[in-house]
Amino acid sequence: MSRAPRLLQLIEILRARRRPISGQALADELGVSLRSLYRDIRTLQGEGVPIEGEAGVGYVMRPGLTLPPLNFDVDELDAVVLGLRFVERRLPDGLGDDASRALAKIATILPKGRSVEDVQLLVGMPETGAAKTLDVIRAAIRTEDAVTIGYRDAKGEATERTVWPVVVGFFGAAEVLAAWCELRQDFRNFRLDRIVRLDLAGRAMERRHRLLLADWRLTFEMDEDC
């Protein structure tokens, strides 16, 4: 998470608390070091956010902070709503539920006279049933775990692979996983709708995900023909 969204999340955490919360608890919830948390607190205090407290005691926000409503211009609102509707339609379970909640939040904080219903752009992508598979892949990427898949290719031939997930791409007909394949010792693409079984391999990837992603970006581009 970049710093700007993290600062907003920190504000929301403090607004939801009535009692002081320790710096360590805040750092753990945000997934940052205690040193970074202290720096974020000082930044917000310097911008006038009414945060009280100190290291070793805890932090609390005084009443009175009012955040301005989101002020998307017409094109920005079109882009945000269309993107969320895409996820909502494409992945009706899991991440699609998150998109629905995000859309509802945006609807409640738009300035008076603005509405997400003003966006007359529709998404007609097919529901491929890949949401559960995608959830496991996303979790594996976050924890840098290898996964074992049972895969059936375009010719119907079945194989079992252990792969290191890199990224998932969304195309008109299917979602595609780019991963390092231990069997081929190279990057390969796998359509999610052809993965018949997927399990965590019970061990970590042998390379950090950020390095895999950088290597993949340098050498490959996604292709639907998998």
The predicted-structure confidence for 88-115, as pLDDT tens digits, reads as follows 877 777 788 888 888 888 887 777 777 7
Where residue 143 falls among pLDDT bands split at 50, 70, 90? very high
The answer, yes or no, to whether residue 122 has pLDDT greater than 60, is yes
Q: Which of 26-40, 44-58, 135-149, 203-217 has the lowest mean pLDDT?
A: 44-58
- pLDDT tens by residue, 43-69: 988 888 889 987 778 999 887 665 555
What does the alpha-carbon distance between residue 161 and residue 147 come to, in Å, rounded to a whole number?
8
Indicate the domain borders of the chain. 3-61, 74-118, 131-219
pTM of whole model > 0.95?
A: no
Check residues 63 and 124 and name the one with the higher pLDDT. Answer: 63
The answer, yes or no, to whether residue 128 has pLDDT greater than 70, is no
The answer, yes or no, to whether residue 72 has pLDDT greater than 90, is no
Strands (E), the chain: 51-54, 58-61, 145-152, 158-170, 175-181, 186-191, 195-204
- pLDDT tens by residue, 11-27: 888 887 878 899 999 99
Asked if the 131-219 domain carries CATH number 3.40.640.10, the reply is: no
Q: Which CATH code of 1.10.1740.10, 1.10.3720.10, 3.90.25.10, 1.10.10.10 fits the domain covering 3-61? A: 1.10.10.10
pLDDT score for 218? 87
Check residues 131 and 21 and name the one with the higher pLDDT. Answer: 21
C-alpha distances in Å from residue 7, one per residue of 16, 50, 99, 184: 14, 14, 21, 43
Where residue 224 falls among pLDDT bands split at 50, 70, 90? very low
Residues 6 or more apart whose Cβ sits within 8 Å of residue 189: 176, 177, 178, 179, 222, 223, 226
